[in-house]
Amino acid sequence: MKQGWRWFGTQDAISLREIRQAGVTDVVTALYERKCGEVWPVGEIRARQAEVRAAGMEWSVVESVPVHESVKLRAPGFETYVENYRQTLRNLAECGIKVVCYNFMPILDWTRSQLDYPLPDGSTVLNFDETQVAAFDLFMLRRPGAEATYGPALCAKAKAWYDAATPAARDAAAKGILLGLPGTVDDLTVEGFRDLLRGYAAIDDATLRANLYAFLNAIAPTCQELGVRMAIHPDDPPRPLFGLPRILSTAADIRQMCQAVPYDCIGLTLCTGSLGGNRANDEVAIFREFAHRVHFVHFRNVVYAEGGTFHESGCHLTGKVDMPRLMRLLLDEEARRGEPIVVRPDHGRLMEIDKGRTCYSGYSYGGRLVGLAELRGLEYGLIHGSDLDGKVCVVTGAAGVLCSVMTEDLLRHGAKVALLDLHGDKASAFARELAAKGLADTLPLAANVLDRASLEAARDAILAKWGRIDILINGAGGNHPKGTCPAEQMTPDAKPEDTFFGLDIEGFEFVNRLNFIGTLLPSQVFAKAMLRDGGAILNISSMAATQPLTKVAAYAAAKASIDNFTRWLATHLAPMGIRVNAIAPGFFITNQNRFLMLEPDGKTLTPRGNKVIAKTPMRKFGQPADLCGAVRYLLSDDASFVTGVVLPIDGGFLAYSGV
Ligand SMILES: NC(=O)c1ccc[n+]([C@@H]2O[C@H](COP(=O)([O-])OP(=O)(O)OC[C@H]3O[C@@H](n4cnc5c(N)ncnc54)[C@H](O)[C@@H]3O)[C@@H](O)[C@H]2O)c1
């Protein structure tokens, strides 16, 4: 992740120097002095950018370019504000700032009832007390129809609270609820709020949604052209509030927006604390489903009290939100797109360290300092906590479709990987590709798995660079058309050359040698370097080994010999602390088999592809990344007592007889 921090410009109680010292690289800010709806001039953007750069950081995300209320309401004259918005995006892009956070929430940017909810250690956090919010709505705002929002039980609790509360307590709740975001200029009064609500009287959910989608579809082509990514902020909290329309509270809302605005540049800010403000939201599932449209991340956590009352957690890692799994997904998404995403620790406790500053819980220094450190530690632990960290791996056929994905995964878990491939240029190109993703602990080498001398030369080069070898993945292998038999079964009318009797022995030998000898020989060469400290070897079998597939006679036989050899070598090397296992991948669409599984349109299944899916209980092909967890397990110390196994990774193909 790129470590971000929201800075409210010169009026912020926290200086850029302090932010820099928190470990931040990316500042998230805006031209707060510009009124909502105005065009941001390039000169002012550059001046703010220069200020951030002078402090050693980059302004990479805007939070926010606010959307004028007339655009939300589609009120007369809104077109001018849409055009102004576009122009601001153009000006930002001209300065190289291309991620924009904003929201489409009517009137209130966020809602809490208490800004100084005390935690046991004396620090304070933001609190959303549903009883107080209901009391405000029912008895201070006196909104017609408010009872229906809350139901009788909550209304009764709200009344009890209101009757017992002192005027000061009521005022404090109202102030908390009506406070605009720090950095914005408006502090609303109850009367002012009532007026604003009247402006939304005629706007229901469907209208606000339509207005949002119309706005986004109007700016999307410009965003696409400029490379600007829009990251809408979800409703905070994502639940009905003061009768206002709420259109970005749930996965269904996000899905609807993504469908209505079919541009990947129009995405969202994954604000885990906001989404967490509704018990029913599953933040992990949301991230998983919309990962490719997450352009900016706010990580924070919430803790629930009774009912729908929650406060912000004293720790960014613990609470309702499953932060470790979200961080894992973030790392996966960053790996997929080959670039980091800006994450800011969202909100934080007001701690002793902030005494004397004019800031409150949420935008404090101490709380966010700790929050960022927690997130950084979690990320570091996920990357380097693996026992593959620092291990030296050799992967043959590393640039292949499946092996390249496994290789990248090993690198992301801290391993150093020698990338061996028959074609040195392919290995080097792959190494460059990895380096561009920040994965530079590689050594690309040309080596033929059927040529001992080239393997020994590779081994010497690896030992010279890293001094040891811990892991070998025998990845090079595959099928060849000459080792296959065109007819699935012998029938009286089959052409003899299409049957077993026409099998090309040289083709058969080639496939057999590539897979079997191509596993045996590298094992002999590289395991020698493991004799001192032990190690792990992983062979690549196939489900064809156990259940021969029609046509691919040589391949199935070769993979069967790999299974047998895996058990033999596991037994043989066990006293030396070298474990030998194999994976048996099911059907993954790769270059070798695409023509067998898919028609030329790349989508329609061939008759053979249909048969495969029909016999796969999970009813889908595997994705190369599906192999990574199993591979890591077999290579890690978690599998320290596991040797000689062949693990199917096949969506159940082997388990199912087809009947
Ligand atoms: N693709 C599948 O669905 C599937 C299923 C089961 C098993 N497998 C097995 O997984 C392994 C990896 O498959 P993949 O899809 O990544 O293969 P791939 O064809 O994409 O890549 C194989 C790589 O090995 C290299 N190579 C070929 N001959 C070599 C040699 N003599 N010495 C060194 N390198 C050589 C190639 O240059 C290529 O980069 C293979 O053993 C394959 O049989 C694949």
**By the 8 A CB rule, do 505 and 455 touch?**
no
Task: Give the confidence band of 195 by pLDDT, cuts at 50, 70, 90.
Answer: confident
pLDDT digits (tens, 9 = 90+) for 519-552: 999 999 999 999 999 999 999 999 999 999 999 9
Using the predicted structure, report yes or no on whether residue 184 has a pLDDT greater than 50. Answer: no
End position of a domain, from candidates 172, 192, 212: 192
Could you tell me if the CB of 423 is within 6 A of ligand 1? yes
348 lies in some domain: yes
Q: How many angstroms separate the alpha carbon of residue 590 from the centre of ligand 1?
A: 9
Residue 363: per-residue pLDDT: 87
Residue 456: per-residue pLDDT: 98
Comparing 10-24, 77-91, 233-247, 583-597, the range with the smallest average pLDDT is 583-597
Comparing 261-265, 345-349, 523-527, the range with the smallest average pLDDT is 345-349
Higher pLDDT, 48 or 594: 48
> Which atom in ligand 1 lies closest to the alpha carbon of residue 479?
43
Tell me what the mean pLDDT of segment 71-86 comes to.
95
> Which atom in ligand 1 lies closest to the alpha carbon of residue 559?
43
560 lies in some domain: yes
In this structure, the residue with its CA closest to atom 2 of ligand 1 is 588
Identity of the highest mean pLDDT range in 42-56, 196-210, 231-245, 589-603: 42-56
Tell me what the mean pLDDT of segment 296-303 comes to.
97
The answer on 153 and 98 residing in a single domain is no
In this structure, the residue with its CA closest to atom 42 of ligand 1 is 478
% helix, strand, coil for the chain, step of 5: 45, 15, 35
Q: How many angstroms separate the alpha carbon of residue 475 from the centre of ligand 1?
A: 6
Residue 593: per-residue pLDDT: 79
Residue 181: per-residue pLDDT: 42
Tell me what the mean pLDDT of segment 476-484 comes to.
90
The answer on 41 and 180 residing in a single domain is no
Could you tell me if the CB of 316 is within 6 A of ligand 1? no
Model pTM? 0.75
Could you tell me if the CB of 584 is within 6 A of ligand 1? no
Tally of structural domains, the chain: 3
What CATH number should be reported for the domain holding residue 76? 3.20.20.150
The answer on 297 and 209 residing in a single domain is yes
Could you tell me if the CB of 651 is within 6 A of ligand 1? no
The answer on 131 and 92 residing in a single domain is no
**Selection from 54, 2, 55, 8 nearest residue 30 by Cα:** 8
Using the predicted structure, report yes or no on whether residue 185 has a pLDDT greater than 80. Answer: no
Q: How many angstroms separate the alpha carbon of residue 597 from the centre of ligand 1?
A: 17
In this structure, the residue with its CA closest to atom 22 of ligand 1 is 400
Using the predicted structure, report yes or no on whether residue 435 has a pLDDT greater than 70. Answer: yes
Could you tell me if the CB of 397 is within 6 A of ligand 1? yes
The answer on 160 and 39 residing in a single domain is no
Task: Give the confidence band of 178 by pLDDT, cuts at 50, 70, 90.
Answer: confident
Considering the chain, what is the average pLDDT of its residues? 94
Could you tell me if the CB of 624 is within 6 A of ligand 1? no
Using the predicted structure, report yes or no on whether residue 186 has a pLDDT greater than 60. Answer: no
Could you give the residue numbers annotated as active site? 555
Residue 172 tokens, joined: 């404090």
655 lies in some domain: no
> Which atom in ligand 1 lies closest to the alpha carbon of residue 448?
32
| Residue of 422, 423, 596, 627 to mutate, ligand 1, most atoms within 8 A of C-beta | 422
Could you tell me if the CB of 622 is within 6 A of ligand 1? no
The answer on 448 and 334 residing in a single domain is no
Tell me what the mean pLDDT of segment 588-609 comes to.
87
Q: How far is it, in rounded angstroms, from Cα 240 to Cα 146?
A: 11
Q: How far is it, in rounded angstroms, from Cα 519 to Cα 538?
A: 10
| Residue of 419, 421, 430 to mutate, ligand 1, most atoms within 8 A of C-beta | 421
313 lies in some domain: yes
Using the predicted structure, report yes or no on whether residue 656 has a pLDDT greater than 70. Answer: yes
The answer on 419 and 466 residing in a single domain is yes
Could you tell me if the CB of 517 is within 6 A of ligand 1? no
The answer on 266 and 227 residing in a single domain is yes
Residue 212: per-residue pLDDT: 97
Q: How many angstroms separate the alpha carbon of residue 613 from the centre of ligand 1?
A: 22
The answer on 90 and 38 residing in a single domain is yes
Could you tell me if the CB of 421 is within 6 A of ligand 1? yes
> Which atom in ligand 1 lies closest to the alpha carbon of residue 540?
41
Tell me what the mean pLDDT of segment 212-236 comes to.
97
216 lies in some domain: yes
SS3 per residue for 411-450: HHCCCEEEEEECCHHHHHHHHHHHHHCCCCCEEEEECCCC
654 lies in some domain: no
Could you tell me if the CB of 363 is within 6 A of ligand 1? no
Q: How many angstroms separate the alpha carbon of residue 230 from the centre of ligand 1?
A: 40
Query: Where is 4: in which H helix or E strand?
Result: strand 2-6
Please report, for the chain, how many H helices and E strands are present, in that order.
23, 19
End position of a domain, from candidates 159, 192, 225: 192
Could you tell me if the CB of 296 is within 6 A of ligand 1? no
| Residue of 540, 566, 647 to mutate, ligand 1, most atoms within 8 A of C-beta | 540
What is the residue whose two structure tokens read 């709420």?
246
Residue 183: per-residue pLDDT: 40
Domain encompassing residue 154: 114-192
123 lies in some domain: yes
Tell me what the mean pLDDT of segment 166-173 comes to.
92
The answer on 444 and 338 residing in a single domain is no
Using the predicted structure, report yes or no on whether residue 182 has a pLDDT greater than 60. Answer: no
Residue 187: per-residue pLDDT: 67
Could you tell me if the CB of 237 is within 6 A of ligand 1? no
Residue 604: per-residue pLDDT: 94
Using the predicted structure, report yes or no on whether residue 640 has a pLDDT greater than 50. Answer: yes
656 lies in some domain: no
Q: How far is it, in rounded angstroms, from Cα 473 to Cα 396?
A: 6
The answer on 417 and 505 residing in a single domain is yes
Q: How many angstroms separate the alpha carbon of residue 221 from the centre of ligand 1?
A: 41
Task: Give the confidence band of 386 by pLDDT, cuts at 50, 70, 90.
Answer: confident
Using the predicted structure, report yes or no on whether residue 557 has a pLDDT greater than 60. Answer: yes
What CATH number should be reported for the domain holding residue 515? 3.40.50.720
End position of a domain, from candidates 137, 167, 192: 192
Using the predicted structure, report yes or no on whether residue 620 has a pLDDT greater than 90. Answer: yes
The answer on 227 and 139 residing in a single domain is no
Percentage, residues of the chain above pLDDT 70? 99
In this structure, the residue with its CA closest to atom 29 of ligand 1 is 422
- CA distances 270 to 92, 193, 283, 295, Å, are 22, 28, 9, 8
Q: Name the β-bridge partners of 539.
A: 474, 582
